[in-house]
Amino acid sequence: MQTTAKASRKYLATPIFGVLMGVVYLVALSVAGNPVSGVLAFAVMVAFSGGLLLARRRSETVRGLLDHRDERISAIDLRATAVTALVMIAVVLVAFVVEIARRHSGWPYSLLGAVGGVTYLAAVIVLRIRG
């Protein structure tokens, strides 16, 4: 099987996204008047992205998570994402209940829960229609 340039560079998507998010943090924190925290957040994201690229050389798991060519590791990634989603849903629901019990509006947890619920329903419908 011949490897194309596009397929061979697919592993760069996550580290590039990490660096771009670091730039977003830097700009947002600088605009908010805290440029030192912005530089720190940017440095953390660059270090993490660089760490991924270094770990990719030695770890089959990291390599598989970055390039998505190994079906077994992709399945592990999908299950880990599902577990993460369940935990996040539980945290949002508990935080919402705590906020309304404290006689607050429940914001932003009500919005997060609504977005999560609508996204789930939309995904079920789209995936069901697609087969």
pLDDT in tens, 85-115: 999 999 999 999 999 999 999 999 999 999 9
The two three-digit tokens of residue 12, written as one number: 């760069």
What is the Cα Rg of the chain in Å?
A: 19
What lies within 8 Å, CB to CB, of 86 at 6+ separation is none
**How many whole angstroms separate alpha carbon 117 and alpha carbon 11?**
31
What lies within 8 Å, CB to CB, of 41 at 6+ separation is 22, 25, 26, 29
Domain limits, the chain: 1-69, 71-131
The two three-digit tokens of residue 72, written as one number: 């077994």
- What does pTM read for this prediction? 0.76
31-68, pLDDT tens digit by residue? 999 999 999 999 999 999 999 999 999 999 999 999 88
Residue corresponding to tokens 């390599």: 63
37 membership: H or E segment, kind and range: helix 35-58
Assess contact for 112 and 90: CB atoms under 8 A. no
Q: Work out the pLDDT band at 2, boundaries 50, 70, 90.
A: low
pLDDT at 119 over 90: yes
